[in-house]
Chain A
Amino acid sequence: MIAPFYKFGLFGDNVSLVMAFVIGIGFGFALERAGFGSARKLVAQFYLTDLSVFKVMFSAIVTAMVGLFFLAAFGLVDLSLVYLTPTYLLPQIVGGLILGVGFVVGGYCPGTSCVAAATGKYDGFVFLAGVLAGSFVFAEAFSLVDDFYYATPMGSITLPQQFHMSYGLLVFAVILMAVGGFAGATRLERWMASRKEARA
């Protein structure tokens, strides 16, 4: 085992902040390349005219998932040291629904709005101000929602653990789902484009 490097003490907290900045540059660069600094490109996902959000997201998930799977299989990464956010099912379901509505209303998510603002979009700046306001409201109202916030705790748990399946099999299932989804997404985009042409 040699990784995660930080967890094995290869560098300290100050260097970890430098790493954060460098990794963030890569993150922002990739988002902008994909066109995710553009609200219209992002929300097109919800009108089925451009399914790039799904395609980019699932290529990224599959890449990182498969990479981590093999690095762990070869004994290079200790998976137990990779932080897994604990699951609180109900608040995460409700939070996800609110986030989805916010996405199609506001046009961005927090990460992509940073890229939008960085490339000159005023709506990106205003969206960021909204995120700050929403975070403030949540924190101020925390005593009203804390029971729900801690409801349905399941601990740090993965899908293979939850469904008693092998890690490799689930990785394979996600790859199949993604590839099938990519093919379906492209067909759907073509169908929407031909429908639009027929109406014009």
Chain B
Amino acid sequence: MSTASQSIKPPQPYANPYLAGIGLGLVLLAAFVIMGRGLGASSAFTAIVTTGVHAVAPAHAQANPYYAEYLGDGTTSPLMDWTVFEVVGVVVGGFLSGTLAGRVRTGVERGPRISNTGRLMYAFVGGGLMGIGARLARGCTSGQALTGGALLNVGSWAFMMCVFAGGYAFAWFMRRQWQ
């Protein structure tokens, strides 16, 4: 049950999953052909964190090899990055599609047996786990599963199977949140 506010226009149903998947695949193929790289998401957040830490404590950021990689030679901001610009595009594209389909509405999405606060707490914890896991795996569902999946990358396929395994293994503990 969604607590989303009502708008006048009823939301359109979602696209056929195979059609949406082919569209997504063509976007990914375009990235390969135009750029010689796939899609990404999680590294944009590390670029944002790096920028923030560097602004507050520049010496601390430069001493950390993980931030240092994102800072580069220091001549350009970590935000002048391909994935950062791509993620800004994702927000715009998502908003555009949602607007056209009447699916933009504010609210908290949750199952019927959990409070808004509970749901938001889980969202934060889940996001935190994702941030850690994606850094450890060198990518998330976009950069590893989708991109590496299409490139038949060994590590990406191992990663993808483990994402599904982890999700299924933990689903039972989270059933009260969703069902």
- Give the number of chain A interface residues (Cβ < 8 Å): 127
- Mostly, the B contact residues are helix
A32-B98, A126-B120 known; A131+B45 contact, CB < 8 A: yes
Proximity string of chain B (165-179) to chain A, C-beta cutoff 8 Å, 1 when within and 0 when not: 111111100110111
Q: Is there contact, CB below 8 Å, between A170 and B158?
A: no
| Chain A residues in 8 Å Cβ range of B119 | 123
Quote the shortest CB–CB distance from A102 to chain B (angstroms): 3
Chain B contacts with A in 119-176, Cβ cutoff 8 A: 119-120, 122-171, 174-175
Chain A contacts with B in 74-133, Cβ cutoff 8 A: 77, 81-89, 91-124, 126-133
Quote the shortest CB–CB distance from A55 to chain B (angstroms): 4
| Chain A residues in 8 Å Cβ range of B124 | 106, 126-127, 129-130, 133
Interface presence of A59 (CB below 8 A): yes
> Could you give 13 example pairs across A and B, Cβ below 8 Å?
A21-B92, A23-B27, A40-B109, A47-B171, A56-B21, A59-B17, A65-B152, A102-B125, A106-B127, A107-B109, A120-B105, A121-B107, A137-B132
Interface presence of B22 (CB below 8 A): yes
| Interface range for B | 35 or more
Query: Quick one: closest A residue to B5, CB to CB?
Result: A120
| Chain A residues in 8 Å Cβ range of B48 | 132
Quote the shortest CB–CB distance from B110 to chain A (angstroms): 7
Q: How far is the CA of A170 from the CA of B124 in the complex (A)?
A: 39
Q: Is there contact, CB below 8 Å, between A130 and B32?
A: no
A96-B166, A100-B167, A114-B41 known; A126+B123 contact, CB < 8 A: yes
Interface presence of A146 (CB below 8 A): yes
Query: Quick one: closest B residue to A80, CB to CB?
Result: B36
Q: Report how many A-B pairs have Cβ atoms within 8 Å.
A: 535
Q: Is there contact, CB below 8 Å, between B93 and A63?
A: no
Partner of A29, one of B34, B35, B88, B97: B97
| Chain B residues in 8 Å Cβ range of A71 | 33
Q: How far is the CA of A18 from the CA of B92 in the complex (A)?
A: 13
Q: How far is the CA of A140 from the CA of B132 in the complex (A)?
A: 11
Chain A contacts with B in 49-64, Cβ cutoff 8 A: 52, 55-64
A20-B85, A34-B15, A127-B126 known; A63+B49 contact, CB < 8 A: no
Q: Is there contact, CB below 8 Å, between A133 and B165?
A: no
Quote the shortest CB–CB distance from B169 to chain A (angstroms): 7
Quote the shortest CB–CB distance from B54 to chain A (angstroms): 11
Q: How far is the CA of A126 from the CA of B95 in the complex (A)?
A: 17
A19-B34, A67-B25, A99-B130 known; A47+B86 contact, CB < 8 A: no
Proximity string of chain A (169-189) to chain B, C-beta cutoff 8 Å, 1 when within and 0 when not: 011001000000010000000
Query: Quick one: closest B residue to A186, CB to CB?
Result: B17
Nearest 8 CB-CB pairs, A to B? A106-B126, A24-B89, A134-B131, A130-B127, A100-B166, A63-B25, A59-B21, A95-B137
